[in-house]
């Protein structure tokens, strides 16, 4: 009885943002959107291989996605700050739906070509450049700053939870003769449409300031705003390097499993899903603590753990130890993402949150682009040493962030102490 009653407050705190009806609609919209998008990632890879049987073509499909995000994400932040966020979400989710519907049509009618696949990849990259900043900024708008960390963590739960089974479902359906890749794309389009309906039901809210301005001036203003705040600049830069170098381990799981352990596709899927298992496992406990005073400390611990996990992955002697390590990496990645985003947005003014989030999101575009040079390094010196280097950079970046934050806190304490001493002196 007592254990049940002690568990309920924790669960209630972990799910507190979902008690806001509008945020709950936004959350479910994200669930269906992420199911669709993650399924399409798998389907694009399968289709690219079927059309070309080329590893280079596979890389090109994802490179187009990453480059599109890199170029357009800063504009997504400006749009999220200057226009109604519901409208931005509708248009971006509509583009995701249109890309899935188009691909289902051309595959089912057997007129699909590789350039169509590249166009669909570009469309999804463009959509996410606007969807990501608007979704996070709208979550902050719906739940308020006091529940911001909880809302961000639950948003990541919706993404990571679907990552456990959505890619597997897409691959399974694509392998069924009477469904195939075309039928799997149809299901992806249906899920995108369900997400679109959920977004349509969200409340209409006017933008805080829709005054027409030069978008490049607005981007410069956002970068200048981040650069002018030492702590915010530190959070954004640290997050960029941690994600760009640390998260790239996912690109090399096939090479680790097949090239080093000499195992097949089943084990690649198993190890790939392990990170999602770890992410889901930490999400609810983290959601209950994300808005508490210890958020930065947990972020630092998780960033160091993230780097240490990538180092261990490079040293792991067996597939099963690799599986366990990747579970830990998944948990640390989610904790770091949730808390770094929470710190960045809670430090930002309301009219800059979209642009700040777009700069945070750029790390994933950087991750996609950095995969190629990191892959070249792995070919030159070996995959295991490369993973160790990636882990050292990840953990080292977090340690530097922590030391700089401690230095600033110590300086502030000394200044307060000096001020108190001056006040205490007799006149």
Confirm whether 127 is domain-assigned. yes
Give me the long-range contacts of 256-261 (CB less than 8 A, separation at least 24).
Answer: 256/313, 256/322, 256/383, 256/387, 257/319, 257/322, 259/383, 260/383, 260/384, 261/318, 261/319, 261/322
Same domain, 198 and 241: no
Confirm whether 104 is domain-assigned. yes
Q: Which domain holds residue 245?
A: 228-413
Confirm whether 128 is domain-assigned. yes
Query: How many other C-beta atoms are found inside a 10 Å radius of the C-beta of residue 206?
Result: 8
Report which of 153, 199, 198, 163 is spatially closest to residue 36, judged by C-alpha positions. 163
Same domain, 132 and 39: yes
Same domain, 82 and 175: yes
Same domain, 28 and 141: yes
User: Per residue, what are the HEC states of the chain?
Assistant: CHHHHHHHHHHHHHCHHHHCHHHHHHHHHHHHHHHHHHHHHHHHHHHHHHHHCCHHHHHHHHHHHHHHHHHHHHHHHHHHHHCCHHHHHHHHHHHHHHHHHHHHHHHHCCCCCHHHHHHHHHHHHHHHHHHHHHHHHHHHHHHCHHHHHHHHHHHHHHHHHHHHHHHHHHHHHHCCCCCHHHHHHHHHHHHHHHHHHHHHCCCCCCCCCCCCCCHHHHHHHHHHHHHHCHHHHHHHHHHHHHHHHHHHHHHHHHHHHHHHCCCCHHHHHHHHHHHHHHHHHHHHHHHHHCCCCCHHHHHHHHHHHHHHHHHHHHHCCCHHHHHHHHHHHHHHHHHHHHHHHHHHHHHCCHHHHHHHHHHHHHHHHHHHHHHHHHHHHHHHHCHHHHHHHHHHHHHHHHHHHHHHHHHHHHHHHHHHHHHHHHHHCCC
Separation between Cα atoms, residue 37 and residue 364, nearest integer Å: 15
Confirm whether 210 is domain-assigned. no
Confirm whether 374 is domain-assigned. yes
CB 195 within 8 A of CB 93: yes
Confirm whether 8 is domain-assigned. no
Q: Would you state the structure tokens that stand for residue 165, as one six-digit string?
A: 């089974």
Domain end marker among 203, 238, 256: 203
Same domain, 246 and 318: yes
Domain end marker among 148, 170, 203: 203
pLDDT along the chain (427 residues), means of 10: 49 77 92 89 79 70 81 84 88 95 94 91 90 85 79 78 74 80 92 95 69 71 85 90 88 82 76 82 73 79 96 95 94 88 80 80 75 82 94 96 82 59 53
Same domain, 255 and 389: yes
Confirm whether 299 is domain-assigned. yes
Q: Would you state the structure tokens that stand for residue 309, as one six-digit string?
A: 């996990």
Same domain, 41 and 153: yes
Model confidence pTM above 0.85: no
Same domain, 191 and 250: no
CB 172 within 8 A of CB 42: no
CATH number of the CATH domain containing 260: 1.20.1250.20
Same domain, 390 and 263: yes
Looking at the 3D structure of the chain, how many domains does it have?
Answer: 2
Q: Looking at residue 388, what is its pLDDT?
A: 97
Report which of 204, 202, 222, 200 is spatially closest to residue 213, judged by C-alpha positions. 222
Same domain, 175 and 235: no
- Distance between the two ends of the chain, CA-based, in angstroms? 63
Same domain, 234 and 153: no
Same domain, 182 and 279: no
Separation between Cα atoms, residue 253 and residue 259, nearest integer Å: 9
């Amino acid at each position: 009885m007592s254990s049940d009653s002690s568990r309920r407050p924790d669960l209630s705190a972990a799910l507190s943002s979902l008690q806001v009806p509008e945020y709950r609609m936004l959350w479910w919209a994200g669930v269906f959107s992420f199911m669709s998008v993650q399924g399409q990632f798998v389907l694009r890879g399968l289709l690219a291989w079927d059309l070309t049987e080329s590893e280079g073509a596979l890389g090109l499909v994802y490179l187009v996605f990453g480059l599109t995000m890199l170029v357009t994400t800063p504009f997504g932040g400006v749009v999220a700050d200057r226009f109604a966020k519901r409208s931005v979400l509708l248009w971006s989710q509509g583009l995701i739906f249109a890309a899935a519907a188009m691909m289902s049509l051309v595959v089912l009618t057997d007129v699909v070509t590789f350039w169509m696949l590249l166009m669909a990849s570009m469309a999804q990259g463009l959509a996410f450049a606007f969807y990501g900043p608007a979704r996070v900024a709208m979550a902050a708008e719906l739940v308020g700053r006091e529940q911001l960390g909880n809302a961000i963590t639950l948003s990541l739960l919706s993404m990571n939870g679907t990552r456990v089974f959505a890619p597997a479902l897409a691959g399974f359906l694509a392998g069924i003769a009477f469904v195939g890749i075309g039928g799997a794309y149809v299901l992806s389009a249906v899920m995108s449409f369900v997400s679109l309906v959920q977004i349509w039901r969200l409340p209409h809210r006017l933008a805080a300031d829709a005054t027409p301005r030069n978008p490049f001036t607005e981007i410069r203003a956002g970068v200048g705003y981040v650069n002018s705040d030492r702590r915010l600049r530190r959070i954004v830069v640290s997050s960029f390097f941690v994600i760009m170098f640390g998260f790239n381990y996912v690109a090399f799981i096939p090479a680790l499993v097949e090239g080093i352990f000499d195992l097949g596709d089943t084990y690649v899927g198993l190890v790939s899903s392990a990170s999602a298992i770890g992410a889901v496992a930490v999400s609810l406990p983290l959601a209950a603590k994300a808005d508490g005073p210890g958020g930065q400390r947990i972020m630092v611990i998780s960033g160091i753990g993230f780097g240490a996990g990538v180092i261990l992955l490079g040293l792991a002697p067996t597939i099963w130890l690799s599986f366990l390590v990747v579970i830990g990496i998944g948990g640390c990645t989610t904790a770091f993402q949730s808390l770094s985003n929470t710190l960045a947005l809670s430090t930002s003014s309301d009219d800059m949150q979209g642009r700040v989030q777009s700069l945070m999101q750029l790390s994933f575009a950087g991750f996609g682009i950095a995969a190629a040079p990191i892959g070249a390094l792995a070919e030159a010196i070996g995959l295991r040493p490369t993973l160790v280097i990636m882990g050292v950079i990840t953990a080292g970046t977090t340690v530097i962030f922590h030391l700089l934050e401690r230095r600033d806190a110590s300086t502030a304490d000394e200044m307060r102490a000096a001020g108190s001493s001056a006040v205490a002196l007799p006149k």
